[in-house]
Structure 1
């Protein structure tokens, strides 16, 4: 696979690369991350490889991430329309101002104008609601986004870090009112965070949202840099060094085994697992150096067999919320299990195994 093996994103005609360049690492305002020049080198490498999808947010490094991208596009003269620029609203850059964050109409409008200025463009391809705002009616948010789409300043809208029930509500409202609807969903998803398989990913598949996982390497844990041998070393870097349970080391051991078989890295295998999961359209990768980006791009060359996937799945099985465990238990107890299209559903009507039609 190559970065140029584009796929349509959700229920839309928007073509995106299988790996999206995440730019939360662009800028050093948060005390970590890549310098401006290194960030531009990362952009160059990704674009030279044929990648076309760049993800940022108004909040990232206090707006500097967006500015680095905008400056780079202006300096290089890259054709703006060849890219899918993705940014987000919700984050508050002005502490103390209650209207400078959230998903209200007021904040959407001012956040968009500021992002357009920093990115030095007159439109955003993919505009994300960064998180769920319990204080703003979803109708207000959707109405404002519809106006942004109608104005031409936004091409598509999407949603991140929001409960499945609220996303479903939003999709139904948009459909009923003939408004622009969300085409994408950003969620945390990795071998160490699979709980979204219970509600969020099935919801996205049913309602036509492309899934774009973030943190597919779980803050670097799935790169293999944390081992049983170095677990007592002093922590460094962005995150406090985690005290990993044995179950995590078991997953890393299996990743290492597959990586050795394919002569690649643990991170590449972990990314390849995410990319191979149902419903995934494009996976976010971040990097602080060009070397890290190059290593992440190796995932495009990894081909996992069904046995490899099963091998990783069995040690990373998530604990899902009700009703999934109940339905699975019912199936295993012989209380259902209808085979349709060659697949047995665990959500089949519950009937005792020996029951028969009476009426």
Structure 2
């Protein structure tokens, strides 16, 4: 498997590379990140390696990320080759509630700003960045459909949303003949495996390809952090933010994962980061893994993640040490319960080669007539 081996994203014809270049680090407006010359070097190296997906958002480095990308793509003449993905949700005008969130007014505002900064007249993949807990799914999918019909975006998806919200949005799109969603962008790593309970089956059932953010758990799995009396120490930003709600990474469970990952990486003959990325990239439901870097050498190391295959034994060790707890109702779906449900008769996956049903979108009357 190499970087120029492409998967279609969800139930679509859009082909994406197995590793995506994350541009959240493009720009130094947040007090950390890559200067323009370094960002350009990483952009060029990623494309030279065969990658084609670049992920950003309107709020990354206060808009500098999109502006840099727009400049790089225009100067390199690679617009048709690049799958350009950006996101909206976060507020660009404090004090104005409609300058953020996922309502139609803000989506229309945000897309125009992104198009201007990216120096393009269309966005390949446009994502809702974070659930705002307010906007109905109906409003979001209808607006996405309007943007596709207007030619401003090609595909749409969701990031950091509850599974029920994604399921409702996709079902509404299918039922009403609107543009279907093709992507969910979610956190996933050896240290954060909770999407396996709901999101992966949802994606596989409803045709949503998963793109992964933070595959190294904010650097926790890169080998740069070591346990200390203060919980952890290292040469990265995680040490600064790990005490913030939702970003606690210096836990006993995670240090156990780091310790086993270090052993597995040594036996496999690859870096900890490459092994951790390889594990994520080859998990069910994953279409592409977003890799971010602030230095060219970091990017080079991450690009090596697809150059090898983990043995079954080594993968099993990583699976075991990182196995998430099964909350209700998933602990009820163990073999003993299944035996009672199916009467002791073996049931399971269909045999290899068994054709799965193909989804056919419902056609509106005018479309049927046209055909």
- Scaled by the length of structure 2, the TM-score of the pair is 0.87
Q: CA deviation at 1:109?
A: 0.8
Q: Measure the CA separation in 1 of the matches of 2:78 and 2:338.
A: 56
Q: Measure the CA separation in 2 of the matches of 1:231 and 1:263.
A: 31
Report the counterpart of residue 347 of structure 2 in structure 1: 340
Q: 2:331 aligns with which of 325, 338, 341?
A: 325
- Would you say how many aligned residue pairs link Structure 1 and Structure 2? 343
Q: Is the contact between residue 225 and residue 232 of structure 2 (CA under 8 Å) also seen in structure 1?
A: no
Q: Measure the CA separation in 2 of the matches of 1:230 and 1:301.
A: 37
Q: Measure the CA separation in 2 of the matches of 1:5 and 1:115.
A: 29
- SS of equivalent residue, structure 1 residue 82: coil
Report the counterpart of residue 262 of structure 1 in structure 2: 268
Q: Is the contact between residue 12 and residue 182 of structure 2 (CA under 8 Å) also seen in structure 1?
A: yes
Report the counterpart of residue 278 of structure 1 in structure 2: 284
* Unaligned ranges ≥5, structure 2: 243-248, 351-371
Q: Measure the CA separation in 2 of the matches of 1:253 and 1:329.
A: 31
Q: Is the contact between residue 275 and residue 282 of structure 1 (CA under 8 Å) also seen in structure 2?
A: yes
Divergent runs of 4+, >4 A: 229-236, 332-338
Q: Measure the CA separation in 2 of the matches of 1:212 and 1:126.
A: 12
Q: CA deviation at 1:233?
A: 7.3
Give the stretch that moved more between structures: 234-243 or 198-207.
234-243
Q: Measure the CA separation in 1 of the matches of 2:195 and 2:264.
A: 25
Report the counterpart of residue 246 of structure 2 in structure 1: none
- Scaled by the length of structure 1, the TM-score of the pair is 0.90
Q: Measure the CA separation in 2 of the matches of 1:18 and 1:187.
A: 15
Q: CA deviation at 1:252?
A: 1.7
Q: Does 1:250 align with 2:256?
A: yes
Report the counterpart of residue 160 of structure 1 in structure 2: 159
Report the counterpart of residue 12 of structure 1 in structure 2: 12
- SS of equivalent residue, structure 2 residue 211: strand
Structure 1 44/219 Cα, relative in aligned 2: closer, same or farther at 3 Å? same
Within-5 A mapping of 1:1-359: 1-76=1-76, 78-228=77-227, 237-240=236-239, 244-328=250-334, 330-331=336-337, 339-341=346-348
- SS of equivalent residue, structure 1 residue 282: strand
- SS of equivalent residue, structure 1 residue 115: helix
Q: CA deviation at 1:14?
A: 0.2
Q: CA deviation at 1:274?
A: 0.4
Q: Measure the CA separation in 2 of the matches of 1:3 and 1:212.
A: 15
Q: CA deviation at 1:115?
A: 0.3
Deviations 1:128-183 (A, max 9, x none): 01111221121111111111000111000011101111111111110111000110
- SS of equivalent residue, structure 2 residue 127: strand
- SS of equivalent residue, structure 2 residue 84: strand
Give the stretch that moved more between structures: 226-235 or 48-57.
226-235
Q: Measure the CA separation in 2 of the matches of 1:279 and 1:252.
A: 24
Q: Is the contact between residue 32 and residue 237 of structure 1 (CA under 8 Å) also seen in structure 2?
A: no
Q: Measure the CA separation in 2 of the matches of 1:161 and 1:278.
A: 19
Deviations 1:56-114 (A, max 9, x none): 000101111000000111222x2311110000111112111111111111111110010
Give the stretch that moved more between structures: 332-341 or 178-187.
332-341
Give the stretch that moved more between structures: 323-332 or 65-74.
323-332
Structure 1 196/232 Cα, relative in aligned 2: closer, same or farther at 3 Å? closer
Structure 1 281/234 Cα, relative in aligned 2: closer, same or farther at 3 Å? closer
Q: CA deviation at 1:50?
A: 1.1
Deviations 1:276-314 (A, max 9, x none): 111111011101011110111111113112222211111
* Unaligned ranges ≥5, structure 1: 344-359
Q: Is the contact between residue 188 and residue 215 of structure 1 (CA under 8 Å) also seen in structure 2?
A: yes
Structure 1 152/338 Cα, relative in aligned 2: closer, same or farther at 3 Å? farther
Q: Measure the CA separation in 1 of the matches of 2:253 and 2:100.
A: 38
